Chain A
Amino acid sequence: MIPLSHSLAIAALLFVLGLAVVLLRRELLFILIGLEVMLNGVALTATAAGQYWGNADGQVLVIMLMTVTAAEVAVALILVWLAFDHYRAARVEALTQLREETERRTS
């Protein structure tokens, strides 16, 4: 049997990997993939902990997680598609319409 600390370490690595992808990549689709990797790290933690404690709560958590993430990604992908449709771009640099307005605007 694999000890809990090993699986937790791998899961933490996955989470950090996903975090790095979200923070470093500039393409919207990669950011979504990074989020998925982060959530997979969570799922691994929950499954491993469920095995360690010998109850089903961890697996319930993973099933809930998968369902909710599917819904979340569906909506997020529609938004990315809309961005591509309107701006012809799938990178974050294209999204710069909203910004600070501390100076008095003359319009």
Chain B
Amino acid sequence: MHSADLINLLPYLLPATGGLVILILSIWPKRVSTRFLSTTALTFLLLGATATLLWQVPGAVGSLLVIDEISRIFTLFFMLGAAAIMLLSFGYAPIRNELHEEYLSLILFATSGMALLVSSNNLVSAFVGLEMLAVPLYALIAWQPTRYGAIEGGIKYAVLASFAAAFFLYGVALAYASGGTLDLAELNTIASSASLLPVAITLILIGIGFKVALAPFHMWAPDIYQAAPSPITALFASLSKAATLVFLIRLLCLQLPLIWEALLPLLWGIALISMIVGNLLALHQQNLKRLLAYSSVAHLGYILVALSAGNSAGRDAAIYYAVTLAIMNLGVFAVIVAFTRRDQDRENLTDYRGLGRRYPVLGIGMGICLLALAGLPPTAGFMAKLFAFGAAIEAGNVILAIVAVINTALAFFYYLRVIGVLFSEEETAVGTSLTAQGPLMVIIIAMILVIGLGIFPQWLLGLLEPP
């Protein structure tokens, strides 16, 4: 263990230490104010974000973690994203009085799980990261169990995430059985006689498919999106999905030359089904959170289109798409948090009628994020789709790209429907009281990033280039 290793480990240790410190504060004899707790949590997150800047890339911690530009970008992004989630939680009325020490420390533990997952170079550390991310989410989804559907959502997520973890782990164990190694980089060198490896990779894909809600493994997503408190929905709709996706990108970018041919039809199938099913189910959805759940199933289909290209353009496109999708979702959920009622979310689309006119900043922010999700230039969503479909065409998957473009056109219909409701003439009777500043800050930053990354995509792509 060298001191350089310790510096490399800081971004993983700091959030976890922060979580423990906050738990210790909770048994402090004197009552600690929520303001002090949240300041502590935010400090640890910002320290963790700063620590990523100390990294010497490319580096590694043993053979477990690899430290490169991808892990730096995403770790930084997760730290700041988790800070945004905390800001959203303080502005979210239904659980405002339930924000105890445990809530903050669970978010911190989940953050350190995400950081572990994006830089893992070994299947065991990936598994530990995946579970450090998932287990806090069970509890966070069921936060304040008296909310409508909270317990049900928590149980559904717990069962499905454990189910997914079992598939993932079975894949890991079989990959180990076929090659005698758990190292991601060494999986490549496994001899061609290993017939178990395709089965193993397929099982790992199924596990990840459940975690990120790719069709046909998406059935849980709308229920969980609806049941979780909106800040937590934002956490797993944007950050946790991006973290799992980065691991998927790392796995598929190994190329695995011997089984890539066998894997391609599977990837194509999942991509096609995800795009079509996601968009079709979103078309007539009346509940905004469920609509967003289905739309993100479709978006993950687009990301798989980019990944199945199997070239470096596809990899860059998938990474760009993962970051921008996370920012756009964060923006949309920030608006949902801002518009929330005193005791529960606005569920039905009709409850949002005319709110965009009354609160122009929030309305415009929501509009821009939704148009970015639909893929209108000059937003980041457009560039992401352009890169993804461009990579697919470059690799010769023209049919897949055409289906994806048709689906994008289809998706405009329901995004525009939401915007139409938001800016309609008549106003909803359900009253609202906007008090919080946190969500407003998050939505403005998300808006700037969505447009900025759309006009200057090289901000992000330039970082990925090897110097």
Residues of A within 8 A of B (CB): 4, 8, 11, 15, 18, 22, 28, 31-32, 35, 38-39, 41-43, 45-46, 48-50, 52-53, 55, 57-58, 60-61, 64-65, 68, 71-72, 75-76, 78-80, 82-83, 86-87, 95-98, 100-105, 107
Q: Is the pair A82, B156 in contact by a Cβ cutoff of 8 Å?
A: no
What is the chain B residue whose CB lies nearest that of A87? B151
Residues of A contacting B222 in the complex (Cβ-Cβ under 8 angstroms): 98, 100
Q: Is the pair B162, A76 in contact by a Cβ cutoff of 8 Å?
A: yes
Least CB distance from B148 to A in Å reads 6
- Chain B residues touching A, range: 35 or more
Interface centre among B135, B148, B350 (most CB of A within 10 A): B135
Residues of B contacting A103 in the complex (Cβ-Cβ under 8 angstroms): 286
Which one of A49, A61, A72, A87 lies within 8 Å of B180 (CB-CB)? A49
Within 8 A of A (CB), among B196-236: 222-223, 226-227
Interface string of B256-273 (1 = CB under 8 A from A): 000000000000000000
Least CB distance from A75 to B in Å reads 5
- Chain A: interface secondary structure? helix
What is the chain A residue whose CB lies nearest that of B158? A76
Report the bound CA distance from A105 to B350 in whole Å: 9
Residues of B contacting A98 in the complex (Cβ-Cβ under 8 angstroms): 149, 152-153, 156, 222-223, 226-227
Q: Is the pair A61, B153 in contact by a Cβ cutoff of 8 Å?
A: no
Which one of A41, A57, A102 lies within 8 Å of B285 (CB-CB)? A102
What is the chain A residue whose CB lies nearest that of B127? A64
Which one of B166, B223, B287 lies within 8 Å of A18 (CB-CB)? B166
Q: Is the pair B155, A53 in contact by a Cβ cutoff of 8 Å?
A: no
Report the bound CA distance from A100 to B172 in whole Å: 35
B241 interfacial contact with A, CB 8 Å: no
Q: Is the pair B174, A79 in contact by a Cβ cutoff of 8 Å?
A: no
Contact segment of B7-15, B72-80, B137-145, B244-252: B137-145
- Chain B: interface secondary structure? helix
Which one of A48, A68, A104 lies within 8 Å of B177 (CB-CB)? A48
Q: Is the pair A65, B155 in contact by a Cβ cutoff of 8 Å?
A: no
10 A-B pairs whose Cβ atoms sit less than 8 Å apart in the complex = A48-B177, A49-B177, A52-B180, A57-B181, A60-B124, A72-B131, A80-B155, A97-B148, A102-B285, A105-B350
Report the bound CA distance from A41 to B173 in whole Å: 10
Residues of A contacting B134 in the complex (Cβ-Cβ under 8 angstroms): 72
9 closest Cβ contacts across the A-B interface?
Answer: A53-B180, A49-B177, A45-B173, A38-B166, A95-B152, A97-B149, A98-B223, A76-B158, A46-B173
Residues of B contacting A97 in the complex (Cβ-Cβ under 8 angstroms): 148-149, 152
Residues of A contacting B177 in the complex (Cβ-Cβ under 8 angstroms): 4, 8, 45-46, 48-49, 52
Least CB distance from B322 to A in Å reads 25
B455 interfacial contact with A, CB 8 Å: no
Residues of A contacting B153 in the complex (Cβ-Cβ under 8 angstroms): 98
Which one of A28, A50, A102 lies within 8 Å of B286 (CB-CB)? A102
Least CB distance from B271 to A in Å reads 24
What is the chain A residue whose CB lies nearest that of B167? A38
Given contacts A38-B163, A45-B173, 5 further A-B contacts (CB under 8 A): A11-B173, A15-B166, A72-B162, A83-B155, A97-B149
Interface centre among B146, B153, B169, B226 (most CB of A within 10 A): B169
B176 interfacial contact with A, CB 8 Å: yes
Q: Is the pair A79, B287 in contact by a Cβ cutoff of 8 Å?
A: no
Q: Is the pair A49, B348 in contact by a Cβ cutoff of 8 Å?
A: no
Report the bound CA distance from A15 to B169 in whole Å: 11
